[in-house]
Amino acid sequence: MATEKTTPNWKKATIPYQHPDVKRSLWQLVNTLVPFAILFYLMYISLNVSYWLTLALGILAAGLLVRIFIIFHDCCHGSFFKSPKANRIVGYITGILTFTPYERWKHDHSIHHATAGDLDRRGVGDVMTLTVDEYQALAPMKRFGYRLFRHPLIMFTVGPIYVFIISHRFVLRSAGKRERMSVIITNLAVLAMVSLLILVMGWREYLLVHVPIIVIGTTAGVWLFYVQHNYEGSYWTRHSSWDFVTAGFKGCSYYKLPRILQWFTGNIGFHHIHHLNPRIPNYKLEACYKENEIFQQIKPLTIRNSLKSLNLRLWDEPSKRMVGLAALKRRPPETTPVA
């Protein structure tokens, strides 16, 4: 198990990479936003040719939408620019493009980083995951609700739309003033953006162009977030034994993607490094991995192997591993269902 004692060099290894390069950040903005705008326009033009062509272009645009979200993500960590003001401005802009309020998401995501893999601090910025005993203690209807929520056909279709289009429009009553204002500002900006596009393109054309981008892009985004923490060999434990370094090395995957997908996803596959030091800009994660053997000890998660995670729904505390619902047939419930 990786701990502060057994991996004393991880901090020293990441520090040289945690400083943003303004030129590289600006270039990433250019090579992401400009192609996205061009593809959006080409999709609109292609409606007069073939909608199959529109959808083909939409796949590329959706990939760029994921890349825009990675830039947004870096801004939330304060790692895209040295200037907090620059991070905030670009964060708000990219947040509007991805329908995500900057301050609200930044707040929730920081909690996720501080609690990933902690069974006693679940519920903010993560994918809801129950233990086997917790699931078996639920009433039948609540079990059904959990199974429905964790089913791939729901999680990767309805789920992304709910999160990005509906959930991001609201804040909890306990949210701070900054988080509330970010939701209001983002909602107004999204309304203005969509209204302008409909005015220029027409509502039918707008829906035919933007909806496929949003659906494909958000689905890919949710999948990436899901597979980064839900896979064979992942890490969950109670707070008394929780360890930040172990959560980074063992609870976050190294998702080894083909080169083109690695580019579209902004190197987020090096997620174990990102969790250990979120101050590293996305464009420096690969170099950090290649130049430090300590991070290469993590077994890569390939696309093929990652598909197995679709069947993993629960954390089994005795065996310390993710299991599917089929495993429950071999294990009788230990508690009485509760309403």
Higher pLDDT, 177 or 213: 213
Q: Are 101 and 95 within 8 A, CB to CB? A: yes
Give start and end residues of each alpha helix (H) in the chain.
10-14, 22-46, 51-76, 84-97, 102-115, 132-136, 140-150, 152-153, 159-161, 177-201, 203-227, 244-251, 259-264, 271-276, 285-290, 293-296, 303-306
Domain boundaries, the chain: 10-330
Please compute the mean of the pLDDT values over residues 52-78 and round it to a whole number.
Answer: 98
Integer Cα distance of 202 and 22 in angstroms:
38
- The pTM assigned to this predicted structure is 0.92
pLDDT of res. 325? 87
Q: Return the SS3 of 132.
A: helix
Q: Are 236 and 117 within 8 A, CB to CB? A: yes
Integer Cα distance of 52 and 178 in angstroms:
43
Confidence of residue 8 (pLDDT cuts 50, 70, 90): low
b (16+ CB within 10 A) / e for 231-266 = bbebbbbeeeebbbbbbbbbbbbbbbbeeebbebbb
Per-residue pLDDT tens over the stretch 106-156: 999 999 999 999 999 988 878 889 999 999 999 999 999 999 999 999 999
Confidence of residue 5 (pLDDT cuts 50, 70, 90): very low
Evaluate if residue 173 carries a pLDDT over 90.
no
Evaluate if residue 15 carries a pLDDT over 50.
yes
pLDDT of res. 331? 58
Share of the chain above pLDDT 70, in %: 94
Please compute the mean of the pLDDT values over residues 154-164 and round it to a whole number.
Answer: 93
Please compute the mean of the pLDDT values over residues 310-323 and round it to a whole number.
Answer: 91
pLDDT of res. 91? 98
Per-residue pLDDT tens over the stretch 190-208: 999 999 999 999 999 999 9
Confidence of residue 338 (pLDDT cuts 50, 70, 90): very low
Evaluate if residue 315 carries a pLDDT over 90.
yes
Higher pLDDT, 173 or 251: 251
pLDDT of res. 252? 92
Supply the mean pLDDT for the chain: 92
pLDDT of res. 274? 96
Please compute the mean of the pLDDT values over residues 292-319 and round it to a whole number.
Answer: 92
